[in-house]
Amino acid sequence: MGVEIERKFLVNHEKWEKTIKPKGTHYQQGYLLNENFKTIRVRITDNQGYITIKGSSTGISRKEYEYKIPMEDGIELLDGFAKSEVEKIRYRINFAGKLWEVDEFLGDNEGLIIAEIELQQETEEFKKPEWIGREVSDDDRYYNSYLSLHPFKEW
């Protein structure tokens, strides 16, 4: 069984702009199913497709199953079946032995930057980079699935 344990944080825009970052990866993702307790998402990057099934959250944990699919299949699924979408640039940054994934949202969610860290346990300790802001792990509005239906520009 796949379990994702993840904490989410807003990013301080001023400090983030001054941060030296690696090249980001463009993500386009759409939701085939987007309900309160489960989502099925298709994602494409520059050269790979993925399908992901996520269950409901308990604390900061939830069941997650992600599989690579051919990019062509991902494009067809997005074009033919996605009910809502999100687009973003993701940066992967290693800091103090942990991988942070920072998403700069595009389109109707432009202006929103969220950092995520995956943990082995909910109580795991970690250091935060200086560009980390307020934690939003418990705020469903910052889930990509929510943003696909209720864009940041409408808040």
CATH of domain 3-154: 2.40.320.10
Quote the pLDDT of residue 1: 54
Active-site residue, from 27, 31, 91, 142: 31
Please state the domain extents for the chain. 3-154
Quote the pLDDT of residue 57: 83
Residue type, 142: Y
Quote the pLDDT of residue 36: 83
Quote the pLDDT of residue 74: 98
What is the Cα–Cα distance from 95 to 89, expressed in whole angstroms? 19
Residues of the chain short of pLDDT 70, as ranges, are 1
Extended beta strands in the chain, E state: 3-11, 25-35, 38-44, 49-58, 61-69, 84-95, 98-105, 113-118, 132-135
From residue 112, how far is each of 8, 88, 132, 139 by CA, in Å?
Answer: 13, 10, 13, 14
Catalytic (active site) residue 146? no
What single DSSP character describes residue 123? T
Tens digits of residue pLDDT in 64-102: 999 999 999 999 999 999 999 999 999 999 999 999 999
